[in-house]
């Protein structure tokens, strides 16, 4: 890939004290590609690749020596890890620093697709939290949902709303993460089209859009709630200037985050309010271009009427959920059409509030379709970390697992351990999906919309 960086950008970066434009240009000319993954410790604790090295600011993140063909790895499809850019994993370090890791909080990832930061939040906030992942673009919201399903936890609500909609939930969330749409200069090393599309006019357009997104959603934070704001842009108009605008217009304070000097991350300060920001340059930190900052809300925030709802009987036969889920008493179940969903019982009131103001793509986990006599288990249940571990299952080799993931016909001789009925397909002990074992054949129930098409 040929890299010709926009002069207007480099000139502005040169205005920063100590900026090394020669090293910055060189790293883009070299065009080295860095591949990193973050493991899903609810499914796998070991790194499924040799010679991986830890990402220093994320204890679940690892650099890979080269980029494998992830499509050929069943563990990728099973949600054992997420392919995520290392710089953006810094959010994990932030959660530790502001003491939110493992706390039972309500969090909103406002611009969530394709799901990297959402799955990170799910891992570090833990199963006792409630996470809402929103994406305004419908097609991207579908991709987000696919990745959330693979991750396997039921304490997540995926929504498809304009950011302004969340103004209807004032004073509700403890954490608001806005990975704002931006001009994309931090992705120059990875994508030639990012260079081709960059302009000062687009920077201005993005800055105005970022202010709209923040301004229309910021009331959803409680007092003392945290805003994590990030972009993949180098332009101060989209970064430090946005922090100054927030601190001028709203009652927030800037929160510093401790750094290890060996990480190569640059701490910056905004011009007016001296707000702390953190910049990732590819010639200094091992990752792509990234900016992130943390602000805390200090003004009182009025909230909405939280009248308690009267819950009707769900219509789900009591024994159904307990047959398929471990610790089923932690969940409430409900019917949506003929599908059975599970959702954390402690947040069922919250879900009622969401239903009044948000367009919800999916809440919790769809465990299956109820026929009136039996449950037809869904792929979401196979991916769930809450599924029982002693259900009928068949371990497959790599070749057979890929055959299953292509939704091809399976042979009865490969399922000798299960005589009949629903059977989980496993690879290296991890669930991939369902088949139904019949007397003369095996029905492959892997969803056609996520099947491997090209190998």
Distance CA 354, CA 346 (A): 14
Q: Is 113 annotated as a binding residue?
A: yes
- Strands 430-437, 266-269: pairing is unpaired
- Rounded alpha-carbon distances, angstroms, from residue 337 to 308, 345, 362: 24, 20, 13
Q: Is 111 annotated as a binding residue?
A: yes
Instruction: Give 229's contacts (C-beta < 8 A, 6+ positions apart).
Output: 178, 180, 214, 242, 243, 246, 292, 293, 294, 295
Q: Is 112 annotated as a binding residue?
A: yes
Q: Is 179 annotated as a binding residue?
A: yes
- Is 58 tagged catalytic? no
Q: Is 115 annotated as a binding residue?
A: yes
Q: Is 114 annotated as a binding residue?
A: yes
Which residues are 387's β-sheet partners? 325
Q: Is 22 annotated as a binding residue?
A: no
- Rounded alpha-carbon distances, angstroms, from residue 158 to 135, 143, 144, 295, 447: 8, 11, 8, 25, 19
Angle at 291 between CA 248 and CA 282, to 5 degrees: 155
Select from 230, 227, 226 the least CA-distant residue to 239. 230
Distance CA 369, CA 316 (A): 11
Exactly one of 206, 232, 383, 423 is catalytic; which is it?
232
Q: 234-265: buried (b, 16+ CB within 10 Å) or exposed (e) per residue?
A: bbbbbbbbbbbbbbeebebebbebebeeebbb
| Matching residue, tokens 């056609």 | 448
**CA quadruple 114, 118, 122, 123: dihedral sign:** positive
Q: Which residues participate in catalysis according to the annotation?
A: 232
> Which residues sit in the known binding site for S-adenosyl-L-methionine?
111-117, 135, 162, 179
> Which residues sit in the known binding site?
111-117, 135, 162, 179
């Amino acid at each position: 890939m040929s890299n010709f960086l926009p002069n207007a950008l480099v000139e502005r970066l040169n205005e920063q004290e100590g900026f090394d434009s020669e090293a910055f240009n060189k790293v883009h000319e070299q065009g080295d590609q860095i591949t990193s993954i973050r493991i899903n410790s609810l499914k796998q604790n070991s790194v499924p690749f040799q010679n991986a090295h830890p990402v220093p600011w994320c204890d679940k993140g690892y650099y890979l020596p080269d980029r494998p063909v992830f499509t050929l790895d069943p563990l990728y499809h099973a949600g054992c890890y997420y392919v995520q850019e290392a710089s953006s994993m810094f959010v994990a370090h932030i959660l530790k620093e502001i003491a939110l890791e493992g706390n039972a909080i309500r969090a909103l990832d406002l611009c969530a697709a394709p799901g990297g930061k959402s799955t990170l939040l799910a891992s570090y906030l833990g199963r006792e939290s409630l996470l809402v992942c929103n994406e305004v673009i419908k097609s991207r919201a579908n991709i987000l949902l696919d990745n959330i399903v693979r991750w396997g936890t039921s304490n997540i609500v995926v929504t498809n709303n304009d950011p302004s909609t969340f103004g209807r939930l004032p004073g509700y969330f403890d954490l608001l993460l806005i990975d704002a749409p931006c001009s994309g200069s931090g992705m120059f090393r990875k994508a030639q089209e990012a260079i081709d599309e960059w302009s000062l006019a687009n920077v201005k357009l993005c800055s105005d859009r970022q202010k709209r997104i923040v301004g229309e959603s910021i009331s959803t934070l409680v007092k003392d709630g945290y805003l994590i704001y990030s972009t993949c842009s180098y332009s101060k108009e989209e970064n430090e200037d946005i922090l100054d605008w927030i601190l001028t217009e709203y009652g927030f304070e800037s929160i510093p985050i401790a750094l290890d000097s060996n990480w190569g991350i640059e701490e910056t300060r905004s011009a007016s309010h001296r707000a702390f920001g953190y910049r990732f340059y590819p010639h200094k930190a091992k990752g792509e271009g990234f900016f992130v900052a943390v602000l805390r809300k200090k003004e009182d925030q009025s909230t909405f009427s939280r009248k308690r709802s009267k819950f009707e009987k769900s219509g789900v036969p009591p024994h159904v959920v307990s047959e398929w889920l471990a610790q089923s008493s932690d969940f409430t179940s409900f019917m949506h059409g003929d599908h059975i969903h599970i959702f954390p019982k402690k947040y069922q009131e919250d879900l009622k509030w969401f239903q009044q103001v948000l367009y919800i793509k999916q809440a919790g986990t769809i465990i299956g379709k109820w026929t009136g006599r039996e449950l037809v288990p869904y792929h979401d249940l196979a991916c769930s970390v809450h599924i029982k571990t002693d259900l009928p299952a068949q371990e497959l080799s790599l070749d057979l697992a890929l055959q299953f993931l292509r939704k091809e016909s399976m042979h009865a001789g490969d399922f000798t351990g299960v005589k009949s009925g629903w059977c989980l397909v496993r690879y290296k002990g991890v669930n991939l999906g369902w088949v139904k074992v019949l007397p003369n054949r095996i029905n492959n129930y892997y969803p056609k919309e996520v099947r491997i098409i090209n190998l």
